[in-house]
Amino acid sequence: MTLLPWVLVALLVGLVTWLLLALAGAGRTIAELRDAPDEAVRHLSAGITPGTLAPAFSADGEEDVTFDAGELSGMRHLVVFADPECAACATLVPDVLDEVRERRFPAVVLVSRGEMGTHPATWRGAARARLVSERGTEVSDAFGVDVTPTVFVIDEGGAVVARGPVQTVEEVAELVAEGEGVRIVGAAGG
């Protein structure tokens, strides 16, 4: 037998090994990334910090009505960043909207990517909830969001009082509780 088949087998084994190692490395969860000490990874969950005024923004809303964040001025609310392509978002968003309907969570603005109307039906039509679609990444960039789903709790003065990437409605409830009763006053909150 010639050397060529053995070289090809060795290359194939090497390629399969490399692919398996790459897949094993891709299995890290957002929680592992968030808790990693490496600052290059930690930025994924940073977002704007509590005490910072939430950025003013407008985005495409349902029924061709432009949403302006100023509509929620004076109200405690959540800003939830989600993406229709995100598996965690698919289950989280309906659960959050259920909590909003039951008044266990404050009003919510759901900021998503994609054309309005391409979002799951379970993301639309909830009372005290607005689904908006950012035109690019301008809203995500303003909030410093690199990963979905991410939630910000905004107080009555427009300041962020809690924030973070989440996977479950229980984690959102923890953020809501963390921001409960917190009101930023002074330079940031006014």
What are the pLDDT digits (tens) for 83-114? 998 899 999 999 999 999 999 999 999 999 87
Tokens of 140: 């995500």
Confidence (pLDDT) at 1: 58
What are the pLDDT digits (tens) for 54-91? 999 999 888 788 999 999 999 999 999 999 988 999 99
Q: What percent of the chain has pLDDT over 70?
A: 80
Asked whether residue 182 carries a pLDDT value surpassing 80, the answer given is no
Rounded Cα distance between 99 and 178, Å, is: 16
Distances in whole angstroms, Cα of residue 14 to Cα of each of 35, 45, 139: 32, 35, 44
Rounded Cα distance between 109 and 128, Å, is: 9
